[in-house]
Amino acid sequence: METNVDKKISRRELGKGLAAVAVASIAGGNAGAAQSTTHHAGEWTRVAPGIWKTVIGEPEAITPVKSRLVAAKEGEAFAGACPLPAIEGTVRNRGVELALPLLADEELFGFGLQFFSLAQRNHKVTIRVNADPKADSGDSHAPVPFYVSTRGYGVLVDTARYATFYCGQCHKKPTEAMAPLENQGKPVELAPVATPPKSEVLVEVPTARGVEVYVFAGPTVLDVVRRYNMFSGGGVMPPEWGLGFLYRTESNATSEDVLKTVREFREREIPCDILGLEPGWHTHAYSCTYAWNHARFPDPKGFVSEMGALNMRVNLWEHAFVHPSSPLFTPMKDHAGDYGVWGGLVPDFQSAEARKIFGGYHGRELVEIGISGFKLDECDNSDFSGSWSFPEVSQFGSGVDGEQMHNLFGLRYQKTIWEQYQTRGKETYGLVRSSGALAAPYPFVLYSDLYNHRQFVRALVTSGFSGVLWCPEVRDAVSEEDLIRRLQVVVFSPLAMINGWYIKNPPWKQMDHEKNNRGELAENWHALESRCREIIGWRMQMVPYLQAAFAKYAMDGTPPFRALAMDWPEVKAFAHVDDAWMVGDRVLVAPLFAGEKGRKLTLPEGEWHDFWTGARVAGGKPMEIPASTRNIPMFVKSGTVLPLATVTGSTAEAKRRQLTVNVYGDGREKFEAKTPGGELLRCIWNGSSGQVESTGFTPKFDVVNWKQFA
Amino acid sequence: METNVDKKISRRELGKGLAAVAVASIAGGNAGAAQSTTHHAGEWTRVAPGIWKTVIGEPEAITPVKSRLVAAKEGEAFAGACPLPAIEGTVRNRGVELALPLLADEELFGFGLQFFSLAQRNHKVTIRVNADPKADSGDSHAPVPFYVSTRGYGVLVDTARYATFYCGQCHKKPTEAMAPLENQGKPVELAPVATPPKSEVLVEVPTARGVEVYVFAGPTVLDVVRRYNMFSGGGVMPPEWGLGFLYRTESNATSEDVLKTVREFREREIPCDILGLEPGWHTHAYSCTYAWNHARFPDPKGFVSEMGALNMRVNLWEHAFVHPSSPLFTPMKDHAGDYGVWGGLVPDFQSAEARKIFGGYHGRELVEIGISGFKLDECDNSDFSGSWSFPEVSQFGSGVDGEQMHNLFGLRYQKTIWEQYQTRGKETYGLVRSSGALAAPYPFVLYSDLYNHRQFVRALVTSGFSGVLWCPEVRDAVSEEDLIRRLQVVVFSPLAMINGWYIKNPPWKQMDHEKNNRGELAENWHALESRCREIIGWRMQMVPYLQAAFAKYAMDGTPPFRALAMDWPEVKAFAHVDDAWMVGDRVLVAPLFAGEKGRKLTLPEGEWHDFWTGARVAGGKPMEIPASTRNIPMFVKSGTVLPLATVTGSTAEAKRRQLTVNVYGDGREKFEAKTPGGELLRCIWNGSSGQVESTGFTPKFDVVNWKQFA
């Protein structure tokens, strides 16, 4: 990464400024009577290169870090001192309170997947897992108690509690009287006072008697995130087929229906690698049995194998709540929380034994017959639309209560399933509706039942700050434009998926649900299908580039999808650009939204190329992109060497290894995908001709065409 | 009240059913490891007629009941046993957990002012004060930890904490395996299991090591609410002028502007008793100084007295956060929380000394010169749109933290101001943006910056269950229809108000804000003004009836405004009627909403009359009321004697005591207003002629016209 905020800020100055704030926050003191209040000075102890920890009071036994199930990996070396001075912690009856320094020019990002905002300064953020946030409160499918500052450091508060972060808007009470303003005329109405130059991030961890806090050094913002991701265990490297296309069929589809859909996809050349089954494969759903409904799937093993012969992997929907008729009920009965959900058990996934029983069944019965992955539904919670999950007061044998379990449940559920692939040396890449801290290595992508397209894009932009992956899935659309714009976005996300769980035919055949399910297809469906086929084709072309981006995620923690503010934190305006993102290091995507009048975009400084035409575009200047623009606006940094695969029906087809390599400008930046498995694809442009190196990939990559865009 | 659910339910049966649930919930037990967990059996001790209390663990020192500032009044006698069996409480590190029995047929109401729902069964309700709730989570300007069951009892959990109530949707885990459902065909998808016949209300009180719980007996639902209101100190009896009309002028208006508006109201015969000033009267607002801006109000005392000569009372806007330039800053500095808001102090209103200083200033400087009341703004909190208030971790010298203070702040602020009127033997009736438990005697009406009309009406319907009053204020409108429909609602609420804080002219002159402030009046404004004048006139006519309703509130706790479900709990459908309400015992209002296609309404069983025509309408039958209906649909119980005052410019005019008395059907139910001050108005119809009795009112009431509607 070329940007380095550290260059602009003297570390001594930063340390000095922050230290002064920390002292002020201690001096601010507290009135009040709570007898058991204790104050703690949080000195930093180095625990890894560029990572420090402090212990305030007596931390809880079960936290994201302490009960981690994936070992940390070491990040980049870092010779400097801890970027933060000692912090002050206070333990009271109500929990732990931390005051972390915050300077006037700092912006904050992170806190996991966020639908409502990117920049978090002056926000009150509660790390509380919820499926249906209605406001910018922090609630999310995947809230993470981790934030990153534009000053080039990050803070992880290691708790599974519903911690609250007040990001700079709380100020100690004023102490100096001012002269009366009598007769000075017009009062300043409804205008809050100016933000003081120094502030604090105030954190409250409820219930706990102590907490551990980690600080991650940069020097750059991207370095901070890399370090956090490596500390999490490194980013996930999905299997190649996971980067293809995923289509989920209607919930009540039978094996015959599904095979018919797949054969039609193959016939009509709709690329697809994974086929997802929704609740109907269970004998009972809500709660679940994890037992095949033989009326619909008389021969599950045969079905999966027939799908395999069509180069199609099978992904299964489920949630974790075990119905009394499930074969898992009796073995899980004593490994569940004291409250049920939808008449089913809530597995105590914090317990290794519970994971072993629940996962073991999945391994033997489902992974063994070839199921490639799962969609783990309903593992979040809901305070804002209905209230269906287990209460926060629930108790689990592992020692956590319902509050902690809500924040841990998604990640522990993922590990329960993932373990079954790991022990068999198999790869998986699935979906999950909840995640949390230290999620980077987990082969699961988040999704939601919400559907606001701007929120979906914002979630993608925010996700990269906290080691979570997000799928802005396509279900239906209000117009052809909406379908196209949504599909154009999802193919540039971690998981390219259409979720047709309530429609019998793909949405391009008929967008009206009822007509779709009655089989009344739209008149122009061939044209729309063709448009969608083309867009899915883009995804297939991008697979090698995505592999390179994910390989970096695995090797050094660089998020494959990230906000402009992560790469260019020094550009203040980018702190609020929540509708454009980087795919890897070289490609910038800035989608259009149906029903809007085009969009504005200012590319980062430097030379860029329009992906679709190859034409040069100068950064740093505001552009207007009209709504009529056919393809998704996409820009490539000048100097890029960008290999594009041949579009095939699935990633299993050898033909896709035949590359067209686009060279932008002088092509000085070589393309390199170097996976943790030791595979290598390298494309180098020497100014007039190119060379390709492919090792470990079977069959190997080859270039059939070099295309230069001056 | 004629309805009595008790008649239908044998108390023994109720006791038996509930006892069984309580035992089951104990047996449900808990897994989990928290060492400090203690279990408590909550036996009930009688504390007043029909009121019992239990103590679980070691309750906190500062709670709504323990730190109450208004003494309880004794309600109706009650000879029966406690309607609930002993409950089970558990004290854990995270707080107190209570399991209260709940039978299959019970519906629950209450929890304070609620914008999103009336019936609360299966809801998760958090008692957390917030100005901008976006979802049905319990958050509200005035959440109250009190619920009422259709089985004829109520429960108050005496805490200022953000308690969470799970109202029946949480169920202990299943324990019995079922046979596999193999090949039974279609699974029941997305359909939660049926609700078990017995359930519980699960309550969590965070942080506390104990809590006191009160049970209020009925026998009827209305009796429960009455008993709770009397326990709160009895309902407020507003001054007569408080039941007139209130108009708030534009924020930057000068005394000249205000007087001009008032003179025009008098000239144009717009009834108005109270004129509200918005922030501009302060020398600085946000935060506040409570000091007159002499550039706008050069002679405050003279201004108030000139207003008085026009029969107009003055109400002043403020919030509680003390600006450093305020004369209150130095005296309040050591009686404030450790955090500030908008650069001002947060008064520790839980401390008597703080109330004395803050209130004393208001008394000397403002009440003494004749200010009739205040509008206490911003005393709630906001987690859902911005985050501007003090953090929950704040500490106050009185011993409460920020969480408790948020739930207590509004009510303590009210008392701070009210006290100044009480010690001077003066009446007041004002506005406040937050309230809480035991609020019935406080002379303040809630309002909001939100503006959804259905939510505003729903809030009015819910408010009566918890001893709070609500003003669905009119600010602006999207259409004439909207303005009219909103005004038609507010005149049948506790406080009839138009809040023109951002418009220089009344909304009927011009609904477009910008044009309004430029003085460009609408072409048809005379016609719309005339329509609005007529509607405000309805309010003036209803004052004697409202006095009777409020007098009952004060004397026996009967809420003057209430849900149909409160008077007819046995009608299951009424549990969801959140768009119609009773005004007093005899009048039912069912408003129309702008932009909707009319409405449905089923009147309660019995004979009714259309208020506008006097025509008989049979209850128990669904009606369609078309959107074109001119006036607000309003129905009077047959047998009612309903006195209507003469419309005057203010309640100070003697002429308004000249009544027209409407007699509906046989007029067998006499009208009686018997105030706590000993005044009496009685109108009796003997079948062919009427008689009126008026004592204590000066001048006295007299009837000029009896009108019978057969």
Instruction: Give the DSSP letter of residue A341.
Output: B
Q: DSSP letters of A657-678?
A: GEEEEEEETT--B-EEEE-TTS
Band the pLDDT of B36: cuts 50, 70, 90.
confident
Selecting from A28, A166, A280 the residue whose C-beta is nearest the C-beta of B338 gives A28
Q: Read off the pLDDT of each residue in A307-319 and give the average, rounded to a whole number.
A: 98
Q: Note whether B180 contacts A323, CB cutoff 8 Å.
A: no
Q: Which residues of B touch A187 (CB under 8 A)?
A: 279-280, 282-285, 293
Residues of chain A above pLDDT 90, percent: 91
Structure tokens at A35: 């007898």
Per residue in A355-365, pLDDT (tens digit) is 999 999 999 99
Selecting from A166, A207, A289 the residue whose C-beta is nearest the C-beta of B181 gives A289
Q: Which residues sit opposite A246 in a β-bridge? A: A274, A497
Cα gap A526→A524, rounded to integer Å: 6
The shortest C-alpha distance from A273 to chain B (Å) reads 27
Which H or E run includes A373?
strand A373-377
Q: Are strands A561-563 and A581-583 parallel, antiparallel or unpaired?
A: antiparallel
Structure tokens at A311: 């180069």
pLDDT score of B161 more than 60: yes
Task: Find all residues with CB under 8 Å of A79, minimum gap 6, and list them.
Answer: none
Mean pLDDT of all residues belonging to chain B? 93
Per residue in B78-132, pLDDT (tens digit) is 999 999 999 999 999 999 999 999 999 999 999 999 999 999 999 999 999 999 9
Selecting from A135, A186, A343 the residue whose C-beta is nearest the C-beta of B134 gives A135
Q: Read off the pLDDT of each residue in B598-606 and give the average, rounded to a whole number.
A: 98
Q: Which residues of A touch B136 (CB under 8 A)?
A: 384-385
The CA-CA-CA angle for residues B564, B568, B574, to 5°, reads: 50
Q: What is the pLDDT of residue A190?
A: 47
Q: Which of A94, A277, A299, A334 to mutate to test the interface with B (most CBs of B within 10 A)?
A: A94
Per residue in B641-674, pLDDT (tens digit) is 999 999 999 999 999 999 999 999 999 999 999 9
Q: What is the pLDDT of residue B181?
A: 83
The alpha helices in B164-254, defined as continuous H runs, are 221-232
Rounded to two decimals, the pTM is 0.94
Band the pLDDT of B13: cuts 50, 70, 90.
very low
The maximal CA–CA distance of chain A, rounded, in angstroms, is 88
Q: Read off the pLDDT of each residue in A370-395 and give the average, rounded to a whole number.
A: 95
Q: Note whether A329 contacts B178, CB cutoff 8 Å.
A: yes
pLDDT score of B77 more than 80: yes
φ, ψ at B396 (rounded to 5°): -125, 145
pLDDT score of A585 more than 80: yes
Q: What is the pLDDT of residue A196?
A: 58
Cα gap A613→B481, rounded to integer Å: 54
Q: What is the pLDDT of residue A17?
A: 44
Q: Read off the pLDDT of each residue in A217-226 and give the average, rounded to a whole number.
A: 98
pLDDT score of B7 more than 60: no
Task: Find all residues with CB under 8 Å of B263, minimum gap 6, and list them.
Answer: B310
Amino acid at B309: A
Selecting from A171, A286, A329 the residue whose C-beta is nearest the C-beta of B339 gives A171
Per residue in A538-580, pLDDT (tens digit) is 999 999 999 999 999 999 999 999 999 999 999 999 999 999 9
Cα gap B544→B564, rounded to integer Å: 22
Per residue in B134-149, pLDDT (tens digit) is 999 999 999 999 999 9
pLDDT score of B524 more than 70: yes
Mean pLDDT of all residues belonging to chain A? 93
Cβ atoms of residues B354 and B332 within 8 Å: yes
pLDDT score of B12 more than 60: no
Q: Note whether A134 contacts B132, CB cutoff 8 Å.
A: no
Between the alpha carbon of residue B110 and those of residues A149, B146, B160, B165, the distances in Å are 44, 6, 16, 11
pLDDT score of A408 more than 70: yes
Q: What is the pLDDT of residue B198?
A: 72
Q: Which of B56, B94, B171 to mutate to test the interface with A (most CBs of A within 10 A)?
A: B94
Cα gap A570→A8, rounded to integer Å: 9
Q: Note whether B387 contacts A124, CB cutoff 8 Å.
A: yes
Selecting from A179, A252, A345 the residue whose C-beta is nearest the C-beta of B173 gives A345
Q: Which of B98, B125, B170 to mutate to test the interface with A (most CBs of A within 10 A)?
A: B170
Cβ atoms of residues B586 and B636 within 8 Å: yes
Cα gap A416→A419, rounded to integer Å: 6
Cβ atoms of residues A100 and A44 within 8 Å: no
Between the alpha carbon of residue A128 and those of residues A110, A307, A444, B126, the distances in Å are 14, 39, 20, 14
The shortest C-alpha distance from B130 to chain A (Å) reads 12
Which H or E run includes A607?
strand A607-610
Q: How many CB atoms lie within 10 A of CB A594?
A: 16
Q: Which residues sit opposite A651 in a β-bridge? A: none
Q: What is the pLDDT of residue B183?
A: 54
pLDDT score of A197 more than 70: no
Q: Which residues of B touch A178 (CB under 8 A)?
A: 323-325, 329
Q: Are strands A245-248 and A496-499 parallel, antiparallel or unpaired?
A: parallel
Nearest to A24 by CA among B338, B346, B321: B338
pLDDT score of B9 more than 80: no
Task: Find all residues with CB under 8 Å of B638, minimum gap 6, and list them.
Answer: B606, B607, B608, B609, B616, B664, B665, B666
Q: Note whether A173 contacts B286, CB cutoff 8 Å.
A: no
Residues A423-456 as b or e (16 or more Cβ within 10 Å = b):
eeebbbbbbbbbbbbbbbbbbbbbbbbeeebebb
Structure tokens at A204: 């409250």
Distance of CA A3 to the CA centre of its chain: 23
